[in-house]
Structure 1
Amino acid sequence: MIYGIGTDVCDIRRIGAALARHGPRFAQRVLGPHELAVWQQRSARSPERGLRYLATRFSAKEAFSKAIGLGLHLPMRWRDCEILNLPSGQPSVQLQGALNDWFAARALRAHVTLSDETDYATSFVVVEHNPCNTPP
């Protein structure tokens, strides 16, 4: 059963402006530790690739926060929600801390897709509830 759906469109130029204003601190505030390592590697190879990676993750976290119905209120914190790629390349949601506990207590599962084109990054998240998987 669908618990929630979220979508977000992000202007990559806006993320670039924030990165120019705040430097790496902006990425450190938004990205979790695994995402931050990927962002640093991509940025070292190509600043444009790093920027697009940051924008897609920003967009996906916004969409996820909408899908779970919390917005950016606790236990939803930027760094506790990571959008990582499986070996196949498929993006997946990995949660930590209180957000992971909150999510698991509700027997939720998230599906995410993201894309970027020209000046925009977009993402779509569907969160499912499976009452058969509710923890005891």
Structure 2
Amino acid sequence: MIYGIGTDICDVRRIKASLDKHGDRFALKILSEGEFKTWKARSARWPERGIRFLATRFSAKEAFSKAIGLGMRMPMTWRLCEVAKLPSGAPTIVLHGVLKEWFDAKQLSAHISVTDETDYAASFCVVETQLQA
């Protein structure tokens, strides 16, 4: 049964402006440790790709926060929610700490889709529950 649905669109130019203004501090606020390492590596090879990576993670976490109905309030935080890849390359949500405990206690599962173009990143998230009403 669907627990919640969330969507988000992010202007990549706003992410770039935040990076220009705040540098790595902005990325450290948004990204988990693993995501931060990936972002640094991508940014070193191709800066625009690094910016789009950060924009897709920002968008995916916003969509997820909407789907679980919390927005950006505890236990939902940027760094406790990670967007990883399955072996197939499909994106997946990986949770940590108190957010994972909260999510697991509710017996939820999440499905995430992310996309980006030159100026925009967008995400769509569906969260399901195994509990019957």
Q: 1:69: how far off?
A: 0.1
Match of 1:111 in 2: 111
Match of 1:88 in 2: 88
Match of 2:9 in 1: 9
The unaligned stretches of length 5 or more in structure 2 are none
Q: Distance in 1 between matches of 2:53 and 2:8?
A: 15
**Percent identity over paired residues:** 61
Q: Distance in 2 between matches of 1:28 and 1:11?
A: 19
Match of 2:30 in 1: 30
The answer on 1:21 being equivalent to 2:35 is no
Q: Distance in 2 between matches of 1:21 and 1:79?
A: 20
> What amino acid maps onto 1:92 in structure 2?
T
* Deviation by residue 1:82-108 (Cα, 9 ceiling, x = unmatched): 001112110000000000000000000
Give the TM-score normalised by structure 1.
Answer: 0.95
Match of 2:56 in 1: 56
Match of 1:123 in 2: 123
Q: Distance in 2 between matches of 1:64 and 1:56?
A: 12
Q: 1:118: how far off?
A: 2.0
SS in 2 for 1:131: coil
Q: Distance in 2 between matches of 1:118 and 1:37?
A: 22
> What amino acid maps onto 1:128 in structure 2?
E
SS in 2 for 1:53: helix
Q: Distance in 1 between matches of 2:88 and 2:26?
A: 29
Match of 1:73 in 2: 73
SS in 1 for 2:87: coil
> What amino acid maps onto 1:55 in structure 2?
A
Across the aligned residues of Structure 1 and Structure 2, the Cα RMSD in angstroms comes to: 0.8
Match of 2:46 in 1: 46
Aligned length: 132
Moved over 2 A (4+): none
